[in-house]
Amino acid sequence: MSKGQQWDVVSGVGITALAVAAARAVETGRPDALIEDPYARGFVGAARAPVKLPTTPAEAEAADGRGYWAQVSTYIAVRTRAFDDYFRQAAEAGVTQAVLLASGLDTRAFRLPWPERTVVYEIDQPLVLDFKLTVLREHGATAGGVHRPVGADLREDWPAALEAAGFDRARPTAWLAEGLLPYLPSEAEESLFHEIHRLSAPGSRLAVEAIGNIPGALADTAANGSVRTLGVDLADLIHTGQRPAPADRLTNLGWNVRTVPATETAAEHGRPLSPAFVERDARYVFADRPPRAIASSAMSSVIRPPV
């Protein structure tokens, strides 16, 4: 999609948000579900998707007869759970500001037990957020903390929109970039990391989903016919050019970084990924910006070297 062009949940990259919601609805229907998203099914029901998306394990099984949707919903469940836990830990550590970049139809603002004074910002295209809030209102959903949706394009001046909505750069923040990076052109991705860094007070943290093998992911969705299964050709949406790994970018910016392979998280939960998803080499990158070091000039005024 070219800059300035908007999309909703049934067009362009917006359809991927609906597909993720379908996967979360399927997972929610499992007896051993890793996450429970009571709103996911409602999104799929309310949208006029170009293809029928499953919302139950039985529908996922019947959708293509090849188990593709079951694989997708397992991966999305593992990913969602990993980042749910990240936000729970951030809240326990006293972080009271969260920003979900490209939040799509993510309902964490409504599902997670945010401490009351936490402010949760969600950035995505205005039409995607409008659709989400309309459906959530119809279902009587209420946010745990203070919920602030910000309609903006992440290839443009989203920091200005975020600050206009009340974002406080002096306050430590828990950021999330989940299901986003492959859809951004490389210059927008580079700028995203720099802007996050610029807006992050010491003590901030960031979680990122990084896909190590994007050509492999595309080959798999092509083999499974993304036009047939999702209603969109993912090859038209995904940027395949080489770019620095998110973990390296963050290390260079001075953040402490820990990378967890998705296969490890999946195994921990007893829900191994299918070979096609192992091949994608997804990693969950967790980083934190250390508290500011005492500047050396300040130190020298306090600690006097021996003469």
Ligand X SMILES: C[S@@+](CC[C@H](N)C(=O)[O-])C[C@H]1O[C@@H](n2cnc3c(N)ncnc32)[C@H](O)[C@@H]1O
Whole-angstrom distance, CA of residue 1 vs CA of residue 236: 9
41 contacts ligand X (rule: CB under 6 A): no
**Residues constituting the chain:** 307
Say whether 21 sits in a helix, a strand or coil: helix
180 contacts ligand X (rule: CB under 6 A): yes
178 contacts ligand X (rule: CB under 6 A): yes
CA distances from 199 to 16, 67, 173, 192, 234 (A): 28, 42, 9, 11, 31
179 contacts ligand X (rule: CB under 6 A): yes
154 contacts ligand X (rule: CB under 6 A): yes
With respect to ligand X, which residue has the nearer C-beta, 20 or 91?
A: 20
Contacts of 200 (CB under 8 A, 6+ apart): 169, 172, 173, 175, 206, 289
Tell me the one-letter amino acid at 46.
Answer: A
Among 39, 75, 167, 183, binds ligand X (CB under 6 A): 183
Q: How far is the CB of 46 from ligand X (least distance, A)?
A: 15
124 contacts ligand X (rule: CB under 6 A): yes
Whole-angstrom distance, CA of residue 140 vs CA of residue 53: 24
With respect to ligand X, which residue has the nearer C-beta, 25 or 91?
A: 25
Binding to ligand X (CB under 6 A) within 54-93 occurs at none
Whole-angstrom distance, CA of residue 117 vs CA of residue 96: 7
155 contacts ligand X (rule: CB under 6 A): yes
With respect to ligand X, which residue has the nearer C-beta, 29 or 179?
A: 179
> For tokens 């759970």, what's the residue?
81
Residues that bind ligand X (CB under 6 A): 13-14, 16-17, 20, 102-106, 124-125, 128, 153-155, 178-180, 183
